[in-house]
Structure 1
Amino acid sequence: MEFEYSILAKYLAGKTSAEELAAILAWARSSEKNGRIWQAVVELRMKDAFDRNNTEAAIERALQSVEERIGQKRVWIPLRRALRYAAMVALVVGGALGYWMSRSNSEDYLSIMVAEGESVKRILLRDSSEVWLKGGATLRIPKAFSATNRSVSMEGEAFFSVKKDSLSPFLVEANDAYIKVLGTEFNVRTDEAGHTLETTLLSGHVVLQDKDQETILDMQPGEQVTYNTDKNEVNVRQVDVNVAGVWHLQQKQLEEATLGQIAEAIAQTHGVHFNFADARLLARKYRFVYAKDEPIEEICSHLEFIAPISCRIEGKEIFVSYRNK
């Protein structure tokens, strides 16, 4: 059976499944020549040059590097095609599982989708801007930004960290509205019905626009704007920028939660069980943020700082009581 060289392209793009990787390894072990090719491709991927430099010239240089390593003087056509394919889809730095890409009706765009329930995925765009997609979100991006315009569209919830470029504004389209960006960090969320857009500005400067790209509001850091595109209604409120958008850092955010609710959330993420010495503690309300991979000892220390409690950890059991004055 002939080896599908396009699988090497998927490897370079970080998109191989476990079965495809097994097929590659079997092919690499089948001959010394294949082993040399595989080693060269692995080194190319480890250098990460492919993700950052996807121009035709860079592809040719990468191909030449591989050819030199495997001792071939003439261009290897299958690998050339594989490299070009990978250049088109290698848009992601970081974990590649849990999302998928597809061509849109236009050959100039790609759609990146994160399945509902999957973990947050970080996307590195060609201009070095970053986008974090929550489970259930979709990002539609051009294969290349123009010199004067950087436009993307999205559904679901995403956090953007946009590289500043005064000559090329960054534009996010969502639910018949636009967010014009010069360089900033902000969060965007749309509803499933497609009528409401919520954006929260953490830093920098963004302008909310309607479907005709007429300015609705010039946002300031700390503002959260909800815009109903059907009714043309705008609601603005102040939020804590230290809390807004923390989900993209894989952190759990709890607002006005009782100590009992906080304990329940921690129990789910860390597999522990809380024992409260006094039921009155359960009703106290706090705002609490913690990382899902944060050690339980540090989480308990934070709880002791915000609440008048003492925590005693015994394996998976955590005993909570009023702190002695």
Structure 2
Amino acid sequence: MANFTEELIVKYLNDDFSKEEELLLLEWLKESEENKIVFLTFKKIYNLRKIKDYSEPDHLENALYKFNERTEFVLKNQRRDFIIRYSKYAAIFILLITIPFVFWLANKESPIELTTVKVGMSDPIKTITLPDGTKVWINNGSTFSYPVAFSRNERKVIIDGEAYFDVKTDSLHPFLVDAGAIRVRVYGTSFNVKTNIPNKTIETTLVKGRVSVQNNQGEDLARLVPGEIARYENKTKEIKVSQVNTELLTSWHNGLVIFNKAMLSEITKKIEEVYNVKIIINSKNQINNKFNFVFRRTESFDMVMEMLKFVAPIQYKKYNDQVYINLK
């Protein structure tokens, strides 16, 4: 009768029983309080089997506490054969709640500890090597954050400003650059990301390899090939891809500042940033000419200004941190 009753209970809990079997089960439940306890124990184990996962350790502790409470009660009130007969279900129950918990522990990520590097406007360019061997050059006026140790699934960093990346190839662990409104997914490559543009445009310039520019949901907005730049407009949410001279846009990480057909005001603005001076152009007439100009950040201010005199019709005088330019 015991095995037959077990079968009835299992059928009932699985909603796979006939009307006659339901009546037999009801008759059996009415026979004694012990039978009701047996049925309720079966039902509790069955319901707990449906639990697929335990996301927090305290769930496991609560479940074990409640199960032990019920087991103690049953041990005190049931015959020895009942204990032996249903101990296998207790073992199954323990497995069902332990296996997901062990899986949770194995896959649980530790809180990510970030290291943040800030480079001031007049500071030298900062070069760092990430835990995976990737090299990053951080430009003036930029903040860069990266984890002390990358996660199991991806290598994610954050840039606010401008940085040049030479990414270590690892097909199993994608490299992601969080640039605010967009992110750049990298497949082992060299590229530049710039977010601190006055009109809120975010630029991604690819030197070699391949990257995809994505929104924050991970959807591709553009895929770049070497020699291309993607410009993402924050206001319109539009992205435009075009061909560029990557050397002009990325030479800064080698200490070079290159201008191609630039206005004098553009050149002097950059000199202001690099040398932390204020340049004032004394002229009633605006110079509309454009100039090609190159200088190294390691060169002295006076050397750079003397070189500028060779390409532009200017004279200059310096008073403390202010420089006055007069046009010839």
TM-score normalised according to structure 1 size: 0.50
Report 1:130-141 matches (<5 A). 130-141=135-146
* Pair 1:189-2:194 in alignment: yes
**Aligned-pair distance for 1:113?**
3.3
Contact 2:122–2:275 (CA under 8 A) maintained in structure 1 = no
What is the alpha-carbon distance in structure 1 between the residues aligned to residue 199 and residue 157 of structure 2?
17
CA–CA distance in structure 1, aligned partners of residues 297 and 183 of structure 2: 33
Paired letter, 1:293? T
Q: Is the 8 A contact 1:201 1:222 kept in 2?
A: yes
- Matched-pair contact (CA < 8 Å) for 2:291–2:312: no
- Residue equivalent to 1:26: none
Mapping of residues 293-304 of structure 1, within 5 Å: 293-294=298-299
Q: How far 1:195 moved relative to its partner?
A: 6.2
**Bigger radius of gyration among the two:** 2
The Cα shift of 1:255 comes to 3.7
Give distance in 1, aligned partners of 2:195 and 2:299: 30
1:220 corresponds to which of 217, 225, 233: 225
Report the Cα offset of residue 234 of structure 1. Answer: 0.9
Match of 1:129 among 119, 125, 134: 134
- After superposing on structure 2, the runs of 4+ consecutive aligned residues of structure 1 that deviate more than 6 Å are 192-195, 263-268, 295-304
> Which of 181, 196, 203 is residue 198 of structure 1 equivalent to?
203
Matched ranges for 1:284-323 at <5 A: 284-294=289-299
> Which residue of 166, 171, 176 corresponds with 1:166?
171
CA 1:135/1:269 → structure 2, altered by over 3 Å: closer, same or farther? closer
Would you say the 8 A contact 1:270–1:292 is kept in 2? no
Closer, same or farther: CA 170–264 of 1 in aligned 2, 3 Å? closer
SS of the aligned residue for 2:194 comes to strand
Structure 2 spans left out of the alignment, 5+ residues: 1-109, 278-286, 314-328
Cα distance, 1:203–1:302 mapped onto 2, change above 3 Å? farther
Aligned pairs, number: 211
- Residue 261 (structure 1) shift: 7.0
Give aligned-pair identity as a percent: 33
Alignment partner of 1:254 is 2:254: no
Note if contact 2:115-2:148 (Cα within 8 Å) is conserved in structure 1: no
Corresponding residue for residue 112 of structure 1: 116
Partner of 2:240: 235
Q: 1:20-169 to 2 correspondence within 5 Å?
A: 107-119=111-123, 120-169=125-174
Distance 1:290 1:270, change over 3 A: farther
Moved more, 292-301 or 201-210: 292-301
Give the match for residue 324 of structure 2. Answer: none
Query: Residues of 2 paired with 1:263 and 1:192: CA distance?
Result: 17
Return the offset for 1:114: 1.3
Greater fraction helix = 2
> What whole-Å deviation, never above 9, does each CA across 1:227-286 have from its counterpart, x for those lacking one?
135532112222211111222223223342357975897798599xxxxxxxxxx76422
Contact 1:177 1:229 in 2 (8 A): no
Kept in 1: contact 2:181–2:215 (CA 8 A): yes
Query: What secondary structure does 1:127 align onto?
Result: coil
Residue 301 (structure 1) shift: 8.3
Question: Alpha carbon RMSD of aligned pairs, Å?
Answer: 4.5
Amino acid at match of 1:217: A
Matched residue type, 1:123: I
